[in-house]
Structure 1
């Protein structure tokens, strides 16, 4: 019995040892498998050479649009690229003084004249002259300039339009950045190139890239000028009186119409008198010519009549004289 107990005890001890060894082996293998898995991932990353960078770039790429989108949302109003175009029709009774005011205000605002023209002359009757200006005024001073024009002259009509070129501007700006990066890479490759064929190909591509950079940069400068300076078109008309602001009520319209009719009659008499006095030398000259022509014509006509009337009487007297001589 004692031998059996000892035998069973030894068997149990051996079985416990075997189970403990197998458990430790499994844990060691599991740890080894985890270690090999991590090392394999590291080896794969090191063997590829771009895994870590790619993950970092991917994270940055996923985060960058969010930040840029947030900035775009925050700066949606302040960073918009808009081109302002304003058209004004003005009336004035002091034509030279109004033109002087326009020139002074252009200089004060820091703008410039893109084109201008003046029609009519001071020798003609008043109210016949007009001026047209195309001005470039800084966008932040355009409103104050328009207000001054309205105060100095009578503003008859105002029209404004705005063109948003933000998308076009950003697109061209991105092209310039991409072309500049390509230009730097081409220069780096050109320094390392040894073959003539490679050098020629790189120089041709570099020349093309430089041309595109200059072209797109010029487009950006044009956009900047159009955005920074508002385009204001002025049409200034000289008038004898400022057109009143018409009210839509019937009574006011009738009053305005009657007033305009009386003014037109008065202006008609005045313009007729001015025309007569201004053209008086021509009237006198042609009056003398026409008067002399009529005088000469009438004189010739009277002479012919006298000849016709005196002809038959003379013939009868001559016949009577001849008969008297024959009787003697």
Structure 2
């Protein structure tokens, strides 16, 4: 009996130990799960915060990325264009021309310019053909013309038949690098404009919208400025500038001089003497005309002074004669 009781006690003790161990394992699992849940929630919150930050910073990041991408695309586009297009050369031609037929030369140059599709930028004509004293005053013309580069050679050929060419000069300026650098910048800005418009459609934040619109305004202003610069350079390349100076001259005529005889010399001497005498008389009359007003004033002053002097002299004589009469 005693042995049986001991066995029962041992069995009950084992059961109690097993039940305690099972409770402790459950509590540990619960505590572990409780610790795991806050860490998971923190991880989810950080991921959410990061996502919101990425969304708010997306505009700046996308704009920066778009700028780097547009540079690469613009460079590739310009390299292709450089391979296809020729060099950009700005040509200038200056000419100094002498002509006997001034009006015909000016008319011929202006007509040829209009016929080949050019235009007159500056036209200045000075001088008169006949002056008031029937002497000839030579005229000058200064023309600045813009001629299509395809007509450069044909237009230059007309000057040989218009007169004597004193001086001519041709210059060329290579603006290829400047042109394609500007074009690359313009292409880059256009691509950037498209990407900014895409970002503007996707953005829902007011601050981001304002930043994108501000960037768009700057980009569009620069695009307009670069477009104007390219058009100006295209015009400079497509049209050659002709600076023409035209001087009217007179034909030199040879004069035959007759031999001078003795009678001719005497006659010329007499004529010279008469002319000299006439000139002296004219100059004398001019001198009298200048002096006459002063002479009149001097004469009046002399007469007035003489009259006053006589009055004073007369009074003095009366004063001296009065005492002598009293003594008598």
Scaled to the shorter chain, the TM-score interval is: 0.5 to 0.7
Matched residue, 1:290: 282
- SS in structure 2 opposite 1:194? coil
CA contact (8 A) 1:127 1:240 kept: no
**Deviation of the 1:151 alpha carbon:** 1.8
1:197-225 superposed Cα distances (whole Å, 9 cap, x missing partner)? 11110000000000000000100000000
**Deviation of the 1:154 alpha carbon:** 2.0
Q: 1:197 to 1:264 in 2, by over 3 A?
A: farther
CA contact (8 A) 1:183 1:206 kept: yes
**Deviation of the 1:157 alpha carbon:** 1.1
d(CA) in 1 for partners of 2:116, 2:125: 22
**Deviation of the 1:115 alpha carbon:** 1.0
- SS in structure 1 opposite 2:191? helix
Aligned pairs for 1:166-245 (under 5 A) are: 166-241=176-251
**Deviation of the 1:128 alpha carbon:** 1.9
Matched residue, 1:122: 129
Matched residue, 1:136: 146
Aligned pairs for 1:99-110 (under 5 A) are: 99-110=106-117
Question: Which of residues 147, 151, 154 is equivalent to 2:161?
Answer: 151
d(CA) in 2 for partners of 1:264, 1:86: 39
- SS in structure 2 opposite 1:231? strand
How large is the RMSD of aligned CA atoms in angstroms? 3.5
1:230-249 superposed Cα distances (whole Å, 9 cap, x missing partner)? 000000000113xxxxxxxx
- SS in structure 2 opposite 1:117? strand
Q: 1:95 to 1:126 in 2, by over 3 A?
A: farther
**Deviation of the 1:290 alpha carbon:** 2.6
d(CA) in 2 for partners of 1:131, 1:294: 44
Q: 1:144 to 1:184 in 2, by over 3 A?
A: same
d(CA) in 1 for partners of 2:95, 2:288: 61
- SS in structure 1 opposite 2:196? helix
d(CA) in 1 for partners of 2:256, 2:126: 26
d(CA) in 2 for partners of 1:92, 1:188: 66
Structure 2: stretches of 5+ with no match in the other structure: 1-71, 258-277, 293-328
CA contact (8 A) 1:91 1:238 kept: yes
CA contact (8 A) 2:127 2:138 kept: yes
1:73-107 superposed Cα distances (whole Å, 9 cap, x missing partner)? 7x6xx611000010001111111111111111111
d(CA) in 1 for partners of 2:174, 2:287: 78
d(CA) in 1 for partners of 2:167, 2:154: 17
**Deviation of the 1:265 alpha carbon:** 11
**Deviation of the 1:138 alpha carbon:** 0.6
Paired residues in the alignment total: 194
CA contact (8 A) 1:112 1:136 kept: yes
**Deviation of the 1:153 alpha carbon:** 2.4
Larger radius of gyration between Structure 1 and Structure 2: 2
d(CA) in 2 for partners of 1:222, 1:93: 38
d(CA) in 2 for partners of 1:169, 1:100: 36
**Deviation of the 1:146 alpha carbon:** 1.2
d(CA) in 2 for partners of 1:141, 1:119: 29
CA contact (8 A) 1:126 1:238 kept: no
**TM-score w.r.t. structure 1 length?**
0.52
d(CA) in 2 for partners of 1:264, 1:92: 22
Aligned pairs for 1:12-91 (under 5 A) are: 79-91=86-98
Question: Which of residues 155, 174, 179 is equivalent to 1:164?
Answer: 174
